[in-house]
Amino acid sequence: MRDAVTSLIKNYDVAGRYFDRIAIDNLKGYFESGTARIKAAAAINSNAAGIVKQAGSALFDEQPELIRPGGNAYTTRRYAACLRDMDYYLRYATYALVAGSMDVLDERVLQGLRETYNSLGVPIGPTVRGIQIMKDIVKEQAASSGVTNTSFIDEPFDYMTRELSEKDI
């Protein structure tokens, strides 16, 4: 797993180049957003269970067929598995927020996940929607904790939803 700094250094090292203006600006932006990233992570960490619970409730209110008989979150075991997965996505989104890099999501979450869900009959649409609901909740909580520009919070959540979404072949 790499962060934004080590990824940038690796790319320039492989190319045998010194940092150019773009690299310096990327580093500057990463370090300038450091405090906001930490505040957002602290907001998530202090209420992760509440975020997952609130997102799960919102998802099941929007898509009640999921918790009805025959639905993918029907039965206590499946319902708990859904919330467990949401917690997993939230935790790794937090890591990606702090790192300023999506590498951890590729390495630890997304690799083969869509194929696994498809083989198990887990619907991707509600998973994607649940991740987006969590993003909105996290942005609200980060703003409440004093983060003025919450746009960086979009990146890991949107990255996961893009990678999980069905793709035309």
* Cβ neighbours of residue 38 closer than 8 Å, sequence gap 6 or more: 98
CB 140 within 8 A of CB 44: no
21 within domain boundaries? no
Q: Is residue 166 pLDDT above 70, yes or no?
A: no
Cα within 13 Å of Cα(122), Cβ side: 18
9 within domain boundaries? no
5 within domain boundaries? no
114 is in an annotated binding site: no
Go through the chain and tell me how many residues it has.
Answer: 169
How far is residue 15's CA from residue 11's CA, in Å, rounded to a whole number? 6
Mean pLDDT of 145-163: 96
CATH number at residue 123: 1.10.490.20
Mean pLDDT of 54-79: 96
State which residues form the domain around 43.
35-162
49 within domain boundaries? yes
82 is in an annotated binding site: yes
29 within domain boundaries? no
11 is in an annotated binding site: no
Task: Report pLDDT digits (tens) over 30-52.
Answer: 999 999 999 999 999 999 999 99
In the chain, the number of structural domains is 1
The pLDDT assigned to 75 comes to 95
Task: Report pLDDT digits (tens) over 99-111.
Answer: 999 999 999 999 8
Give alpha helix (H) positions in the chain: 4-15, 21-32, 34-46, 48-62, 76-99, 103-105, 113-120, 124-144, 154-164
CB 67 within 8 A of CB 60: yes
Mean pLDDT of 55-72: 96
Task: Report pLDDT digits (tens) over 123-136.
Answer: 999 999 999 999 99
45 within domain boundaries? yes
2 within domain boundaries? no
CB 46 within 8 A of CB 144: no
20 within domain boundaries? no
Stated pTM of the model: 0.90
